[in-house]
Amino acid sequence: MRKLKIPIPPKPTEEEKRAKIEKMWQEAPMDYATLLVRFKNNERLLHYLKEFPDDIEWPKDRTCKNCGKPLVAVYECSPAWTWANLCGLAGYEYACPYCGKLHEFQMTMMN
Ligand SMILES: [Zn+2]
């Protein structure tokens, strides 16, 4: 009996991956109000969305491992007292506004 050959789809190149994410990103522009609704059950994220509304980013190279949609990066910065006590922390929380999954925190500053 002959073995069935299942065609393996060619792996997308980095460029194709980027183009796909770019396209989703352009189609996804979720406005601020929608983001607030999407993360209404996550107090911490909601707090930072409201505190740093100008620091919300749609990174073009990351998608949700759960649903494949583009992630949003929300800037987070610990309160002033933590910086005064040399335990301040700031960075971006990557989260999926579609399925609500949090991905990772990427620290950009600490003292
Ligand atoms: Zn998702």
Q: Is residue 8 part of a domain?
A: no
Residue with tokens 């996550």: 42
Global model pTM greater than 0.75: no
Structural element, H or E, at residue 96: none
**14 C-alpha to ligand 1 centroid (Å):** 21
Q: 102 is in which domain, residue-wise?
A: 30-110
Q: Is residue 76 part of a domain?
A: yes
Q: Is residue 57 part of a domain?
A: yes
Q: Is residue 2 part of a domain?
A: no
Q: Spell out which residues have Cβ within 5 A of ligand 1, the ion.
A: 64, 66-67, 96, 98-99
Q: Is residue 68 part of a domain?
A: yes
Could you tell me which of 25, 108, 14 has the C-alpha nearest to residue 64? 25
* Residues 31, 10: Cα–Cα separation, whole Å: 35
* Residues 49, 84: Cα–Cα separation, whole Å: 23
When divided into structural domains, the chain yields a total of 1
**8 C-alpha to ligand 1 centroid (Å):** 26
**102 C-alpha to ligand 1 centroid (Å):** 8
Q: How confident is the model at residue 2 (pLDDT cuts 50, 70, 90)?
A: low
Structure confidence by residue, pLDDT tens digits, 9-33: 778 888 887 777 667 666 666 788 8
Structure confidence by residue, pLDDT tens digits, 56-73: 888 888 899 999 888 999
Structure confidence by residue, pLDDT tens digits, 73-100: 999 999 999 999 999 999 999 999 999 9
Q: Is residue 95 part of a domain?
A: yes
